Amino acid sequence: MAEFEKKESTFEWWFIAHFVFGVVYLGMIPILVPTYIISITNSAAEAGVVMAIIGLGALAAPVIGGFADKYLAHRIAQLGGLVALSLGALIFAFAKEDLVFAIAAIAVGIGVATLMMINPSLIVGAGFEQDTESSKLTRLNQVAIVGQLTGGLLIAGLTQAGLSFQARFLVVAVVPFVGFFIVAATNKTATERLRRAAPVNKEETASEAKLTLGKILLTTFGLFLLAMAINGLSQSVLESQYPNYMQRVFNISPALSATALSVTAVVNLLVLGLAGSWMARKGPNPVFMTSLLMRLAAAAILIALALVGNVPAILPLAMYVILLVGIAWVDLAGPALAGRLSIAGIGATQGLLMGSLALGAFFGALLGGWLAETVDFQILPWITAIGVMIAIAFGYLAIRDKGGSNTTTSVP
């Protein structure tokens, strides 16, 4: 009972912002946007472009993070991210032309990047001990997984019920709209906690803060950002075409693919606590590297299943579940690693992390759509596997010496 109460204390009500992120971005967007675009254009490349633009919108994360650090505006940024998500979904509901698709995708991308940056920043930048930080990051990510479960079941139900794409996007828009009011009423304490820690952080990093972006990219933190960008690319190649890939390669319906996302959420709820406990004891390094190895194995098995052909649907869907479990572990360990490797402010650090992932996601979605249309959908997990292998190499070089410290050194 005491252990249960301890875990309960790690939850804060502003975590609803991450629940919204899970519902919209993890549970609904991966199914709804690609199937909507391909239903209009009959082009996997077009779907890839729109998914890529979502990543392009997320490139605003470093700017937003720097703004939040400079003006201590983390609370405003978090609420703005929810507004951007709702606005993007609303625009998608009425979009029929490429320009409008692009505007909607940019709004969604800005909202996603802002929440992915600010939410962990409120924990990593608060000065908690490693075990408390790990516990809160774990709970934050578990809340996102509950959101993913909710979003996956919701979009599957709406699809099975035969609701129009417009109606489904309107449902998506309502979720962050409601979340805005809950978060606005509950995030003041967390942002003030970050504000109190800010003067200490500024004093400790005053000289390093003068580094230019170019110099930062030549540090171990820059190498870590490169690993995360390649990791984002390898993820986006397949994720941006997920429902189309499953349908074209394994003849699995989008509704069943959406259900698999909900299964992923259940699995993640069971295993993310283990990853969080591991990270509390050993730090983020082993969790990060294991997550990449898990994804490499899952991508390799997807390649083998496609070569075999006529396999039960549960097998490729199970491999995709493992891919997403690996991604969840990256999301858990990544912010903590970035905080240890970077000498920049917490918002700028997490913004650069999200920006690197966004850049990778942008090119990955473009590459995934182009390859699916010009070569074949079966090539997508090959690119995922190659990208993960490169990320493993660069990630290891970046964190092998400095993953547990708060200093940054130049790459040898």
At residue 407, φ and ψ (nearest 5 deg) are: -110, 160
CA nearest to 108, candidates 43, 65, 150, 52: 52
CA distance linking residue 156 with residue 79, whole number of Å: 28
Burial of 152 (0-12, 13-18, 19+ CB in 10 A): buried
Pull the structure tokens for residue 231: 């990791």
CA distance linking residue 348 with residue 65, whole number of Å: 5
- Residue 285: C-alpha distances to residues 146, 220, 309, 330, 358 (Å): 25, 14, 37, 10, 22
pTM: 0.76
CA 330 to chain centre: 9
Per-residue confidence (pLDDT) for residue 212, from 0 to 100: 60
Label residue 251 left, alpha or beta by phi (over 0 means left) and psi (-120 to 50 means alpha): left
CA distance linking residue 328 with residue 143, whole number of Å: 12
Domains present along the chain, CATH in parentheses: 9-399 (1.20.1250.20)
CA distance linking residue 116 with residue 121, whole number of Å: 9
Contact 244, 365 (CB under 8 A): no
Pull the structure tokens for residue 68: 């939040």
**pLDDT in single tens digits along all 412 residues of the chain:** 344 334 446 889 999 999 999 999 988 888 888 888 888 888 877 887 888 788 777 678 788 888 888 888 889 999 999 999 999 999 999 988 888 888 999 999 899 989 988 998 888 887 778 788 888 888 898 898 888 888 888 888 888 888 899 999 999 999 999 999 999 999 988 888 877 766 544 444 444 445 566 666 667 888 999 999 999 999 989 988 888 899 999 999 887 887 787 787 788 888 888 888 898 888 889 999 999 999 999 999 999 999 998 899 999 999 999 998 898 888 888 888 888 887 777 777 888 888 888 788 888 888 988 998 899 999 999 999 999 999 999 999 988 865 444 444 333 3
Pull the structure tokens for residue 346: 């917490």
